Every structure is written in structure tokens, then in C-alpha cells.
Structure 1
């Protein structure tokens, strides 16, 4: 079936309702862009899909099978907003830990093969973010969740990262959030806006204006 489907997502932090009956689906070969203002619940939704947060309610299926925590299936990989690879390990060790099927594609990249003996902490902030994103994109997982992958990256690295995402589209489905909304619009095959706890399908910039995400100029 090659599909991730989540429905009826409800979650609160204390008395604040963050997500209310949110749903989305992502097929292999598809990039689903998730937009929303700060605090709208974008990151929370990705963490719920991955299994890092247990929501008040959700209905998650991968390839038609009900799933409790996404990471237990090994079919979902997740790039958080913060650095996640221990700073003291070398890049070649991280490569062995996080990639298998697609490792050779990474070994062909100069930023990887020229720094295999470099510790993660010794990379610049932008290079570290880029490398961590690559390791998740080229992981074994069929579905990839990217939370603000373009943050800390130069315009050149943003464009390069988009190329890598598109290169893996025949094998994976992607769910991507970012504050650089134009990058999301450019790369996504469908766009979802999280607003006031609910999700809305976005087809044009006018839809983003209608729901208050972009100013009406």
C-alpha cells in the first residue's frame, strides 16, 4: 500500500488544545508540506507520528496496519529541530548507525567522504544540520519526517537538500515542516496548514491569506 495515514489526532498541553481532529496522509513518492504559525502544533504532530509524544487520541496506520508508535515499525525516520547525533562520535560511525540500504549514495558525496573521521561536534552548525538531514533522508525508513530541515542552512545548502529529497522520492514519502514557507511551497506535492488545532488543504497563496497565515496585501 505504501501509505502513512493518521486521523483523529487530538492533543492538549494542560488546558490548551493544540490539535483537534487533525488528519493527513502521505504516499511513497509524495512530499506533504505542513505549514503553521509558531505554536500551531506542527512539531507536535510529527512527534506524535514518530511516537515521541503520546497524544490524547490518534489513529495511525502504515501500509494499512494500525500502529501505536511509529518508530517501533522502523518505517519512520524523524529529523527533530535540534541536533540529535551525539557530538563525540565520528561521521563514519553515524553513517553506519543511521544508514544501510542507501549508504553508498552518501559516501559518494564530498561533504561525507572527505570528513568520515571528523567528529560531529567539529562540523560547523550548518554542515552538521545538513549532514544530520542527509542521514535521515537516506535512512532505511520508508517515511521521513523533517522538522525545519532548512533552518541554519545557507541558500546553497537548502537547494542541495531539496535535490536529495527529490532523489529519494521514488522510494520514500516525506512530511516536511519549515518556517521558510516558500521552500515548502516549492517542494511539496500537497500542502496542509495547521491553524487553531485543525488542518486545511492549501492549493494557492490565497488559501494561506484566507486562513491568516500570510498577510492580505
Structure 2
């Protein structure tokens, strides 16, 4: 009697174990902000990725790979030369995400670590090509222009790999301070002259501005805005 009970218990346990294994092999779950790319033994990588939720797969024939499709952070650093043959260390902070419709293509071409393969190569190429157009002082003086040029070029290059860049920001470049030190106070004085020229041009075009000189004969007159 006891032996029959143990045999039945063993059979039930075996059935439950096999059933649990089959359920585990037939079902997979995709969390929010992720997509699944399916590799099929017969058809290869399927053309469409699978969204969030619990899904069915054919055990031993289909293998899902879960990929993050949210915006992720990546820092790209490069040591490159300027037009005046100075070396600078420049870094980019990128927020990237893949095009969901092209996710199977990205996975088949570059694998699950596609960002590690694409972004450093593209970033280094863009930084070297753009930094070489400026000398060290110009990199500082035209920082906004350089950043916009880098951002535009990065977006164009990454679109060829079906990556979307939500933000591209240039970090401080090591070597700019050396350029200022070599140029001395002359660089700062040039910046002040340019700023004063812009102010003078703005005042000259305005009819509602008048200048009152100092009555004591010293410098430092007063500008009045007349309404």
C-alpha cells in the first residue's frame, strides 16, 4: 500500500515537473520599455520585434532576446589633434535609443551590444573630423558652433545605423586651458573688444539711447534709455 502511494506520488511529481518545464520553455515575458527579438531555427531572425507582455514561443525552436529600447546614456571620449597640431581630450555625452521597427536588423547586424559597437566608432570619427577644422583657441571661442556641428554630424551618421539621438552634449575639452595660457591675456582682451563692438553697434542703431558725459570731467558717462 505504501509502495503504491509512493509510486503515485512520484508520478504526480514527475508530471508536475515536466509540465512546469514545458510552461517555462513555452512562455516568456517582456517588461515595459523593452522589446524581444526572436531567433527561429527555421526562418532565422524574425522581421518584427515583440512588445511588452507575456508571449508564447515554440520551445527549442524559438529563442527570444530582450533588448532595452529606452533612452540610454553613453559617454564617448576621444583624444584628437587640432588644426594647430595640439592634442585635446574631448568627450561627448549621448542619449540614444534604437528605432523599434529596425530592431531586428540592428540585432542581426551588430548583436545585443550594438551601442558598444556603433557609438564609439561613429563618435571618434566625428570628433576627429570636426576638431581638426579648428585650432585650440577657436574650440573655446566658438564652443557653441562646434557643439552644434558635432550634434548635427552625430545625428546624421547614427541615422545610418538606425539609432536615434535624443541629446548630444560636448563635455569640457582638456587642452583648452593650455591654449588660453599660451595666448595670454590677449585672448581675453580680444573677447572684450568684440563684446564692446557688438554693444556699440546695438546702441548706434537705437534712437532712444542718449549719452550724458560726466560733469566732473572724468570718465564713466551715463547711458539713458528714453521711452
Structure 2 length as normaliser, TM-score?
0.23
Q: Which structure has the larger Rg over C-alpha atoms?
A: 2
Q: Which has the higher contact order (CA 8 A, sep 6+)?
A: 1
Instruction: Return the structure number with greater helix share.
Output: 2
